Amino acid sequence: MAFAFASCSNLEDNDHYGNGSTVINNNELKIVNMSSAEYMNSRADLSDMSNLFKENGIYSELNKKGQLSTMLVVTNDNYRQPDADDVVFVTKSHVSDVSVSPANLHNGERLMMWHGKYVNVTMDEEGEQGAIVDHIKFNNASVKEVIQTTNGYIYVISDMIETPTSLSDFINSLDDNYSIFKDLVLSSGGKVFDRVNSKPIGVNNEGNTVYDTVWIYTNAHFEEKGFDMNSESLTATMLLFSNDVINAAMSEARARLTMWGMERPDSALLNWIRDVSFYNRRYTADQLQNAEAEDIKSIFNKQWRTNAHSIDKENPIELSNGIVYNVNKVHMPNNLLMYRLKDKFYYYENCTDAQKEEYFKMTNMVFSKCKTDVAAWTPLSGVWPEVEYRVLILGPGDDGPQGNLCLDFTPVRLKENIGGGTSVEPYFVPPGSYRLAMGFKQNQNMTIKVSVLVNGQVVSVSNPITLGSATTYHYDRGATLPDRYPEGYDPSKLSDKKAGNYDTDGGPIIDEVVIPDVNGDGSASQIVIRIEADNWNEQTGMTLHHWCLRPTVNNY
C-alpha cells in the first residue's frame, strides 16, 4: 500500500490507514480519502468517542442525511462518559451539519450543533493568521488536530464540549447572592407550561396527567426589543450585578440625592440596573471597560459609559447565546438621578416680598400679574397629571419701552410645608452639563438673550432668540427638541391629537450649559437665569411660562 505525504508532520501509527492514502498539505491539516465514520473507526485512540457516536445513532443519521458535517472529538485520554440522562444531548453537542474548514473559521463565530445550541469559536492572533493547533478553540477546548475527510471535517480537541446554558436558564439558576437582579428581570415577564418538553410522570386522583414540568419563560419587556433570551440565535452580552454591588450603588446614589436636596424613587434606579444590563451583540471586556469616555447603548437605549464602572474582565461566563460579565462596581449616572429639572415662573406670586427681591431681580421691568391663560388639561385622565398654562407677566419699568430690560431669575420651586400650605425655596443644581429650554408665549415679537450665571459668573450665553409667531416657545408645547417629554411618556401611544404638546421641555435656549463644581465635592449650587433685551420692541409686557434643565449624556 502506497502512502503519499506532502510537507512535514509528526506522524504516528494511527496516521497510516489500510484503505486509503493520506496527503498532508501543511503540518496541521490532514486530508484522508475516507468518510468521517470510517476515519473515526480506524483510530484506536478515538474509540470511546466513536462508540458514543455509534450507540447514539450519529453515524446512521449522517448516512441517512447524506450531507457534509463537522465533528468535534477527543482522544480516549480526554473522554468522559456522559450521564445517562444527558448522553444524547452531549453526543449531539459534538456534531454539526455544517462542514467548516479551518480557513473558514473566524474569531467570534458560532457553530450550530445537533443539540440545537451554538459552540463559540475563539482564536488568538496567530490563529487569525492561519495557525491551527492550540490557537483555535471551540468553547474552551483547544484544537489539537484537524482532519479533512470525504464528507466533512473532524477536529480533535482537548476537552469534550461543555454546552453553556442559555441566557434565560442562566438567569433562572442565579443563587441568592443575585436575588435582586434576578427578580428585576423575571418580574418583568412570565412563564408558560411547555407541554412538549415536560415529561409525564403519573396520573393524579382526578385522572389528570402529572408532569415533570418544564417552563418556557416569556418576557414582553425584552421581546418588544426583539430580545428572546431563550433563542439560540441570540448573540448577547449581559452585565451581572450581585446584591452587594446593587446595594452599594443605591447607597451612593441616595447620598448624592440627599446632598443635592433631591429625591428619586428606588424603582427608577433599579429599573436602570435591569435595562442597562442587556446588549444584542457580544462585547469584549476591554470594550465594556476602558479609559476612554465611550458610550455603549443597551437594547433599552440605556447609556453605559466605559470609564465609569468596573467589571471582572478576567472571568467572563460563556453562554450558548451570549456572554456574561460580573460587575464589580457601578456608578449610577447623574442623568439617571435627575431626569429633568423643570418649573414655573408664576411662583413669583408665592414668594414673600424679600424673596421677590432676591429671586426676581428686575431692571426696567415690573410685575404686572400672574394669570392662567389655558385651563388645566391632560391627554389621558387618571394616568398623566393635568397641567395648566399659568404665567408670569412683567411690564416695562421706569425707563419705558425703549430702555434695556433684564431679569435675573433664581430658579425656585414650591415646597409643601409640614403644617400645611406651601413656601418657596431656591433650586440647587448639581455640577455637570445640561440642556436649557424655556417657554414663553408666541407672538410677543421680541428678541432676547439668555445667560446662565453661577456665583455671579456667566457660564453660558444663548444666541439671540426671537419670540415670534412660531409655537417653538409657546408655553411648554415646543416640539423641536428630542427627548423633550416627561419620563415614561410616549405621545404615539395616545389618541389625543394634542398629545405631542403635553408638558415638553419647551423651546431650545442653550444646547449645553456646564455648571461648575464650585466646592469641589460634587455639591449643588444656586444658579441665575438672566433674560435680557435691548428694548421692549413696543410690547406692553413679557409673558414667562417655565424653564427646564435636562442633564445631557455627558452629565454622567
Give me 436's grid cell: 436649557
> Residue 465 — left, alpha, or beta (φ > 0 → left; ψ -120 to 50 → alpha)?
beta
Q: By the 8 A CB rule, do 408 and 528 touch?
A: yes
Give me 490's grid cell: 410616549
The 10s digit of each residue's pLDDT in 114-165 is: 998 889 899 999 998 889 999 999 998 999 999 999 999 999 999 999 887 8
Q: Is the pLDDT of residue 80 over 70?
A: yes
Structural domains of the chain ordered from first start = 13-157 (2.30.180.10), 167-334 (no CATH), 338-551 (2.60.120)
Q: Is the pLDDT of residue 3 over 80?
A: no
Give CA–CA dist 277/181, Å, rounded: 10
Give CA–CA dist 144/160, Å, rounded: 12
- Band (pLDDT 50/70/90 cuts) for residue 4 is very low
**At 334, which helix (H) or strand (E)?**
helix 334-337
Looking at residue 21, what is its pLDDT? 39
Looking at residue 117, what is its pLDDT? 86
pTM, two decimal places:
0.76
Looking at residue 193, what is its pLDDT? 57
Looking at residue 215, what is its pLDDT? 57
Looking at residue 369, what is its pLDDT? 98
Q: By the 8 A CB rule, do 414 and 431 touch?
A: no
The SS3 of residue 91 is: helix
- The DSSP call for residue 350 is G
* DSSP assignment of 41-75: HH-GGGHHHHHHHHHTTHHHHHHHHT--EEEEE--
Give CA–CA dist 299/276, Å, rounded: 8
Give me 453's grid cell: 450665571
What's the gap between Cα 371 and its chain centre?
A: 44
- Band (pLDDT 50/70/90 cuts) for residue 194 is low
Closest-CA residue to 548 (of 531, 530, 529): 529
**395 CB burial (10 A radius; 0-12, 13-18, 19+):** middle
Mean pLDDT taken over the chain:
91
- Band (pLDDT 50/70/90 cuts) for residue 11 is very low
Q: By the 8 A CB rule, do 411 and 427 touch?
A: yes
Closest-CA residue to 17 (of 4, 29, 27): 4
Q: Is the pLDDT of residue 362 over 60?
A: yes
- Band (pLDDT 50/70/90 cuts) for residue 195 is low
- Band (pLDDT 50/70/90 cuts) for residue 204 is low
Closest-CA residue to 221 (of 303, 163, 277): 277
**At 395, which helix (H) or strand (E)?**
strand 387-396
